[in-house]
Amino acid sequence: MNNPDRSGDIILIFKDFTDDDAINRYTSGTACKSWHGSLNPSDSYVPLILAYPGGNKAEIESVMNNVAACPNGQCEGNWNVTDIIEEIIKRQFSEN
């Protein structure tokens, strides 16, 4: 599932710590009250869309069906994206 010409080499996983002073938080945004995708609770509910250009639907369904947070390949409600990332990484490195 990795495309060496287009895939990124870095996955940033920040601490989910939002109760501390803003200066001590981990975020990819600038110094402001909130930022799209920041760790502020009101900013954290954004869609995750899995796409595999040139691949097929069966490969994505296979990943999603192996993630406990996504029964039947569907993730409804509040679930953790790290499970999906972990499954994708496992598959990439187990093939080598």
User: How many helices (H) and strands (E) are present in the chain, helices listed first?
Assistant: 2, 0
The mean of the pLDDT values for the chain is 64
Counting the structural domains of the chain, the total is 2
Question: Is the domain of 2 the same as that of 36?
Answer: yes
Question: Is the domain of 42 the same as that of 52?
Answer: no
| Segments forming the whole domain that contains residue 34 | 1-46
Question: Is the domain of 53 the same as that of 96?
Answer: yes
Is residue 1 very low, low, confident or very high in pLDDT (cuts 50, 70, 90)? very low
Residue 96: CA count within 13 A, CB half-sphere:
6
Asked if residue 51 lies in contact with residue 64, where contact means CB atoms within 8 angstroms, the answer is no
Q: What is the pLDDT of residues 38-61, one digit of tens each?
A: 555 555 566 666 666 666 777 777
Global pTM? 0.35
